[in-house]
Structure 1
């Protein structure tokens, strides 16, 4: 999920500090990595492809990254962080688990689902990067994707006031199922299909809410 950094630095001499130039190059390379992979996939993307799209020299690339995988991981981490920041802006300060009216927490949960789907739809190259291409990037990339999913699951659990193990596990299931459902529309570059998942997902969460599976903080009896 890129920022508004310009594609090119000014021609000739400029007053930008070296670290600022490195930051701009890093952003452009990560954005280019996501864009090219959306077209060619991880395996089909070369460093040369990324350099051509970013309009950055090979020397600048290797000054920042040791390999294509290093650049991919940087793009992955940046996309994940920006996704979390976007969700935080949407829901604000939800308070500590168990605080706030129950209906208010349900509304926040629904807003978070809508914001998540909208973020994916608006940033399809980066969404594809951490939902699809991550599996081709190797074990470390998959491990980091799992960690990101755990962070999102914990955030959902806190948002709903789920303090016990059973309800937090339900949140993990919701996040895992949502991740699986959004992968196909992301792979097909279909933002409308992504957004269309919102109403049925929200309705399912409401069913769980009404049934007391979410938002109660109580243990589910074992069979």
Structure 2
């Protein structure tokens, strides 16, 4: 994907208010970070790569971010917030625990499939970004584990621990298909995971 995939700002001195210009620039830089790291990996990605993809000056980059890692973390937090929101929205509403879990899992996998660049940033490239990124990932994963426990009605310590295990296992299982770009393999995980969770619940482990 080349730089034309990122929407350019309209020309003209008064085209947009300054705060909207700044917001649009920041979004474009985060999108560029996700795209470039998906292609080159975090370690080989440079600030120059990101600003070229975003079609934004180096000066503008440093008005928004202090470093490559700072931009990466902002992109990571934006992507995980959207992912968490979609999971919770899918799980809301009517239905039993397993039905709601299945909807949440489907939303999770569809989000990864629809936006593979941000998916790889969150699931695979975060390992290369260092301790700060891994700490943020661990907190995000714990939140997802708590959401899964709530969705499945797991109230015991063992049940909530099992929910954390489900999230950790799912994160590992999606990594391979994401790296390979195998969308069909990603989607097929949903029904298999739901079936396994059903067995866990039937066995009283949730």
With normalisation by structure 2, the TM-score equals 0.94
1:42–1:60 CA distance, 2 compared to 1 (3 A): same
- Report Cα offsets for 1:138-192 as digits up to 9, x if no partner: 1010000000000000000111111121100000111111110001111112211
- Structure 1 ranges of 4+ moved more than 6 A: none
Contact map agreement 2:98 2:194 (CA 8 A) in 1: no
Q: Which residue of 2 aligns with 1:46?
A: 46
Structure 1 unmatched runs, 5+ = 95-102, 215-223
How far is the alpha carbon of 1:89 from its aligned partner? Answer: 2.0
Q: Which residue of 2 aligns with 1:16?
A: 16
Select between 8-17 and 25-34 the one with higher mean Cα deviation: 8-17
Partner secondary structure for residue 37 of structure 2: helix
**Higher helix share goes to which structure?**
2
With normalisation by structure 1, the TM-score equals 0.87
Q: Whose Rg is larger?
A: 1
CA RMSD of aligned residues (A): 1.5
The equivalent position to 1:105 in structure 2, one of 79, 97, 106, is 97
Q: Which residue of 1 aligns with 2:107?
A: 115
Aligned length: 202
How far is the alpha carbon of 1:14 from its aligned partner? Answer: 2.5
Select between 59-68 and 105-114 the one with higher mean Cα deviation: 105-114
Partner secondary structure for residue 59 of structure 1: helix
Structure 2 unmatched runs, 5+ = none
The equivalent position to 2:143 in structure 1, one of 147, 151, 167, is 151
